[in-house]
Structure formats: structure tokens, C-alpha cells
Amino acid sequence: MDFSSKFTFDQGGETLELNGVRRIAVVGASENSRKYGNKIVRDLLSKGFEVYPVNPGSEVIEGVRCYRDIEELPRDVDLIVFVVPPEVGIQVADKAIKLGFKRLWFQPGAGSKQIEDLIKNNGVEYSIGRCIMVETSF
């Protein structure tokens, strides 16, 4: 799926444009089909996105090669979705910013004030607290 029209969140300083997003990494992807890290991978795959699961403990998730760390990701990934606790997310987000990734999405429960401050201070497009499965269902 490719968003053909401009799709931007801008609420309280939070901005993220999904126009042109095709390649999505999922930090916290899971092999367990009951966990949201797996549900999100399946949902995005079913919508035609190129999905890059990230989990250091898995080799393959839903038939897709799993990356152990975001450092292994192709640099043309358009968006990184976080499905991890904030204390993990802050470390990975900091690394993502240093690696040059410009769009970060924090699922409900994955964000924090500390993460928001980090993102705002580095000019990254972001969303905190919205569900990627809902927001890509149109």
C-alpha cells in the first residue's frame, strides 16, 4: 500500500506524514500470534506493506526475515513502529535517530514524555499513542 494523498498528524506538536510509506520496520515483532507485535506484522503484510520485523530472539516472523537490531535494517525503511515498553523504546529511538531514520511511530503504551522530548529535539516525524493498524485502515 502506498498512501496517495498527504496523511499528516499534527496535534500538540506531534507530526507524522504517512504519504509514500511502503517499508515499515516493527520493533518488538513477535512470533506469538496473540501478541500485538505479531498482529501488527500480519496486519501490515495483509495491506501490502513491506515489513521488517525486529526482534533479537527471532530469525523469521510470519515468513519474513527478522532483524536482530535496527542497525541491520535497510536505510530506506520509511517508518519504524515501536511495540516495546518505553524503557526499551527510548534506547532504540535514540539509536534510530543517530542512524538517520526520520519517522517513528509508538503504539499505545510504547511512548513516554522522555521519548517525546528526545524526538522533538531531533526533528523527527512521529506519532505516540495511535494504533498503526487503525490508522492504515482506509
27 grid coordinates:
520493533
Which pLDDT value is given to residue 61?
Answer: 98
The DSSP call for residue 22 is -
Q: What's the whole-number mean pLDDT along residues 17-33?
A: 92
Which pLDDT value is given to residue 130?
Answer: 92
Q: Can you give the residue ranges of every domain in the chain?
A: 8-135
Q: Is a pLDDT exceeding 50 seen at residue 11?
A: no
Q: For residues 66 and 120, which has the higher predicted lDDT (pLDDT)?
A: 66
10 vs 19: CA distance, rounded Å: 14
Cα angle 109, 72, 42; round to 5: 50
| Threshold 0.85, pTM exceeds | yes
List the one residue out of 132, 81, 91, 99 whose CA is nearest residue 115.
91
Which pLDDT value is given to residue 20?
Answer: 84
CATH pick for 8-135 out of 3.40.190.170, 3.40.50.720, 2.60.120.380, 1.10.10.410: 3.40.50.720
